[in-house]
Amino acid sequence: MSIVDRFLKYVSFCTTSDENTGMTPSTPGQMEFAKYLADELKTIGLSEVTLDENGYIMATLESNQSSAVSNQPVIGFIAHMDTSPDASGKHVKASIVKAEERDYIDARYAGQDVIVTDTTTLLGADDKAGIAEIVTAMEYLIQHPEIKHGKVRIGFTPDEEIGQGADHFDVTAFGADFAYTMDGGTIGELEFENFNAASAKIKVHGLNVHPGYGYHKMRNSMRIANQIILMLPRWQSPEHTQGYEGFYHLVGMNGTVEETTLSYIIRDHDRTQFEYRKRELEHLVRKVNTEFGEGTAEIDIRDQYYNMREKIEPVMHIIDLAKEAMTAVGVTPNVKPIRGGTDGARLSFEGLPCPNIFAGGENFHSRYEYLPVPSLEKAMQVILEIIKKA
């Protein structure tokens, strides 16, 4: 199966994750897709294929080197099966067009075949492109035994988009010396720095009475919640920040007079500033409680992942390896910080150094997501080169 056909098959599965279900995987479509993948991995000839009750897949491409080669590392490649809740991933209608046929496709892809949707759903290149690249690379190596390589482990995870992709990932069972997530965007991206990340839920409690008799009695939780929103500097939001700049991002709000909930994500590359941002939200909640009474507002902050840089710097040879592989296939490495996170961030802190390599897509999490076919193919070639050069 070609890499394009494989990707188009993968996006037919609806794998949107959902942080509200309390299950792993968080949605049944992810397990359906996982079962399909596990069968496919066995069919193409991988060994030690496992699928656990939480939807995590692991498999092995055995070394075809002689036992005398004892110092070769075990390399891992990881991608996630879920797609973002930010846009629908159901009934994806994908097609291949020339870049010039869509005005939202960047001009640098002129003349290329590009996979797009009808713009009613996202495409799912984040991260089904990564899965297609890994599986196709494994199939290629199995079909070309003349290419000598060491042992390779692959892993596919659920629920990365809701920050839970590494929750049940067994690093010991995976057994790799280092790994790469195929979860970046534009061709050439290579990332080993990411945001420190936390989520924050603020609940504001109000008091509802008949509006005709609300004088000095009613306490409208939505108005109090709006006061919290306005106390945060608007220039420290995603639409006003770039590069290494951190932000507060209001991702959800739901309210009545009686109760309003604000959902924030907190991001910063600098650990000290990250801790400051969390304290600042707590401070704003205390200010509200001072003004309106203790217990008016409550906050729950939970750390999600940390900047992997401190875990990658001691093993920078794995970044050099990825750069060499990109250069070998005609891709210019673009080392940059992730303004987000990957499973690799958490896995790096669990003992599996795991930088991030481009999967090739653009406009992730959007109905205007697209995937240039040459980028998809180059990412697969990078995987092959890393394995050959290790």
Band (pLDDT 50/70/90 cuts) for residue 342 is confident
Q: Is 82 a catalytic residue?
A: yes
Flag whether pLDDT at 70 surpasses 80. Answer: no
pLDDT of residue 364: 93
Q: Report residue 305's pLDDT band, with 50, 70 and 90 as the boundaries.
A: confident
Split at pLDDT 50, 70, 90, the class of 370 is very high
Q: Is the pLDDT of residue 338 over 90?
A: no
Catalytic residue among 126, 127, 159, 160: 160
What's the mean pLDDT when you consider all of the chain?
Answer: 95
pLDDT at 161 over 60: yes
| Mean pLDDT value of segment 28-46 | 98
Q: Residue 304's pLDDT is what?
A: 86
pLDDT bin (cut points 50, 70, 90) of residue 68 is: low
The per-residue pLDDT for 369 is 97
**Same CATH fold, 196-305 and 3-194+307-389?**
no
Segment 209-217 long-range contacts (CB within 8 Å, at least 24 positions apart): none
Q: Is 53 a catalytic residue?
A: no
pLDDT of res. 69: 62
Among the listed ranges 10-14, 29-33, 121-125, 207-211, which one has the minimum average pLDDT value?
Answer: 207-211
What lies within 8 Å, CB to CB, of 348 at 6+ separation is 308, 311, 312, 354
pLDDT at 148 over 90: yes
Confidence band of 281 (pLDDT split at 50, 70, 90): very high
Mean pLDDT of 135-142: 98
Q: What is the percent of the chain where pLDDT is above 90?
A: 90
Provide the pLDDT confidence category of residue 66 given band limits of 50, 70 and 90: confident
- Which listed CATH number (3.30.2020.10, 3.40.50.150, 3.40.630.30, 3.30.70.360) goes with 196-305? 3.30.70.360
Confidence tier at 256 by pLDDT (50, 70, 90): very high
Contacts for 50 with CB less than 8 Å, ≥ 6 apart? 38, 57, 58, 59
Cα torsion angle, 333, 246, 305, 20, sign: negative
Domain limits, the chain: 3-194+307-389, 196-305
Tens digits of residue pLDDT in 167-223? 999 999 999 999 999 999 999 999 999 999 999 999 999 999 889 988 989 999 999
Per-residue confidence (pLDDT) for residue 170, from 0 to 100: 97
pLDDT at 114: 98
Q: Which of 40, 82, 193, 369 is catalytic?
A: 82
Architecture of domain 3-194+307-389: 3-Layer(aba) Sandwich (3.40)
